[in-house]
């Protein structure tokens, strides 16, 4: 994969923000060669950790506002939205949860959420006092986050909370959060390699010159080399392979190009002039190249072609 995964971490005003330096440190240690990390934080969250203790850039509302002075300046929440491949808010406090569920956007984190590209994952790790967690609003807001916005939730755990209460509400263990991020990073890289393969396959088809159907007949091993090997390896493969398709494939590129060229110059279009024919709408050119003469003749009856064939 060519590009690292950009992980955006969000910190809100829960005491669990004390874990931000540890989460970032662990991510860098365990996934450092695969990810870039940035942290965005609300003002209250800054009470719970020192920016200098975080091994990543920490961006606040103040940065967002001071970065913009004139029209050509970047808007930071949009820049960050474009940069991030995933957004993990750990901790998500009751206040930001409520705002996110209602689409409010009055600070950097909620603006990023509101401008978010919904195809990319958002993970939230709620952390709050037990009564806050048990409050009717919490379930309602989380339902919106999961069912409407499709965020992933790492639920809180039960323990003696910083406020002295014993019960559910503490942010999930940092290891659970790191493992979820690792999982998402892996998911993203397998997707990227699948996409890469299909692009390579298309390129191969162009190099090889086979039609889709012909290429599908190649033995698997050959297709693998065609997808992953160098041009030289592919040529060598084509010269050795005994598969009937190979002979065709071996000679195909030039032959096909010539045939195509012939078809193009001998296009049965009435305009008869290559440059004009090149201007025909793509669909017509395809039919002229691939269909029987009868169909082509029928095509020429069409108003569109008549208009074009000056």
Give the residues lining the site for ligand FMN (CB under 6 A). 12-16, 42, 44-45, 93-96, 127-128, 132
Give Cα separations from 149 to 85, 103, 195, 238, 269 (angstroms).
16, 10, 25, 50, 53
- The four Cα atoms 194, 199, 203, 205 give a dihedral, to 10 degrees, of 60
Taking the complex as a whole, the smallest distance from the CB of residue 125 to ligand FMN amounts, in Å, to 11
Measured from the CB atom, the residue of 17 and 204 that comes closer to ligand FMN is 17
Catalytic residue flag (residue 163): yes
Return the bridge partners of 92, or none: 126
Taking the complex as a whole, the smallest distance from the CB of residue 137 to ligand FMN amounts, in Å, to 11
Taking the complex as a whole, the smallest distance from the CB of residue 47 to ligand FMN amounts, in Å, to 7
Q: Is the dihedral of CA 272, 275, 276, 277 positive or negative?
A: positive
Contact 74, 68 (CB under 8 A): yes
Q: Using the 8-state DSSP alphabet, how is residue 145 labeled?
A: I
Contact 26, 35 (CB under 8 A): no
Nearby residues of 310 by Cβ (< 8 Å), 6 or more positions away: 271, 276
Burial 11-35 (b: 16+ CB within 10 A, else e): bbbbbbbbbbbebbbbbeeebeebb
Neighbours of 208 (CB within 10 A): 24
205: which 2 tokens? 């088809």
Which residues of 112-172 form beta strands (DSSP E)? Answer: 122-126, 152-153, 157-160, 166-170
Euclidean distance between CA atoms 147 and 153, whole angstroms: 11
State the catalytic residue, choosing from 163, 241, 269, 271. Answer: 163
Measured from the CB atom, the residue of 12 and 60 that comes closer to ligand FMN is 12
Contact 73, 79 (CB under 8 A): no
| CB-nearest residue to ligand FMN | 13
Contact 109, 10 (CB under 8 A): yes
Catalytic machinery residues: 163
């Amino acid at each position: 994969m060519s590009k690292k995964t950009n992980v955006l971490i969000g910190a809100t005003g829960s005491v669990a923000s004390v874990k931000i330096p540890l989460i970032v440190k662990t991510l860098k240690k365990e996934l450092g060669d695969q990810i870039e990390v940035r942290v965005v934080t609300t003002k209250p969250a800054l009470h719970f950790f020192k920016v200098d203790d975080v091994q990543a850039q920490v961006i606040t509302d103040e940065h967002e506002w001071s970065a913009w002075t004139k029209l050509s300046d970047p808007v930071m929440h949009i820049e960050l939205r474009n940069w991030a491949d995933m957004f993990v808010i750990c901790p998500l406090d009751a206040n930001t949860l409520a705002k996110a569920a209602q689409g409010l956007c009055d600070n950097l984190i909620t603006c990023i959420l509101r401008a978010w590209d919904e195809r990319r994952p958002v993970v939230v790790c709620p952390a709050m006092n037990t009564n806050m967690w048990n409050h009717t609003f919490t379930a309602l807001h989380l339902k919106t986050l999961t069912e409407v916005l499709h965020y992933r939730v790492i639920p809180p755990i039960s323990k003696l909370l910083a406020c002295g209460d014993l019960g559910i509400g503490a942010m999930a263990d940092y290891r659970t959060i790191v493992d979820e991020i690792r999982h998402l990073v892996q998911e993203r890289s397998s997707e990227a390699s699948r996409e890469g393969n299909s692009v390579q396959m298309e390129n191969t088809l162009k190099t090889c010159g086979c039609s889709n159907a012909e290429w599908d007949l190649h033995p698997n091993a050959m297709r693998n080399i065609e997808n992953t090997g160098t041009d030289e390896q592919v040529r060598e493969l084509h010269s050795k392979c005994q598969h009937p398709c190979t002979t065709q494939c071996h000679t195909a590129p030039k032959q096909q190009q010539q045939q195509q060229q012939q078809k193009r110059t001998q296009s049965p279009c009435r305009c008869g002039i290559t440059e004009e024919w090149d201007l025909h709408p793509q669909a017509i050119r395809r039919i002229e190249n691939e269909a029987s003469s009868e169909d082509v003749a029928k095509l020429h009856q069409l108003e569109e072609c008549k208009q074009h064939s000056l």
